[in-house]
Amino acid sequence: MTTTPRMTLQVQLVLGEMLSDPAESRYGLDLCAATGLPSGTIYPIMARLERISWVESDWEDPEAHIAEGRPRRRYYRLTREGAEGADEALRAIRQARKTAIRAWRIPAPGVTGATS
């Protein structure tokens, strides 16, 4: 049984970014830059996603960070289950938003003339 994380806006941003190239490994500060979220938000999200097996992580080879003179990076990548679950969850959220927009007759962005 797959567990779905609480789909906060921040989790949606992280998963959307990870899904832009599901096979790519990403490190935390890279995700911070891509999503605009602070590291204090990214790392707890990645830990939660790893606990439910949507993400797996590995530390980079020590020789890489020593040669570049920087701290060692932990790389995260979506699992197959995570990519499928994230895609399904984000698709359901987009559909729910479309339904809500139609129900409330909210004009699409850039369209004027909202009805009352």
| 3 state DSSP class of 87 | helix
Within a 10 A sphere around the Cβ of 50, how many other Cβ atoms? 15
3 pLDDT more than 50: yes
Q: What global pTM score does this model have?
A: 0.79
Q: Is 102 exposed, middle or buried (0-12, 13-18, 19+ CB in 10 A)?
A: exposed
Q: Tokens representing 89?
A: 């969850």
2 pLDDT more than 70: no
What pLDDT digit, counting tens, does each position of 27-75 carry? 999 999 999 999 999 999 999 999 999 999 999 988 888 888 889 999 9
114 pLDDT more than 80: no
Q: How far apart are CA 23 and CA 52, in angstroms?
A: 18
10 pLDDT more than 90: yes
What pLDDT digit, counting tens, does each position of 18-28 carry? 999 999 999 99
CA dihedral 99, 100, 103, 104 (to 10 degrees): -150
Measure CA 88 to chain center: 13
Percent of the chain residues topping a pLDDT of 70: 89
116 pLDDT more than 80: no
Q: How far apart are CA 101 and CA 104, in angstroms?
A: 5
Task: Give the list of residues 6+ apart from residue 25 with CB closer than 8 angstroms, or none.
Answer: 58, 75, 76, 77
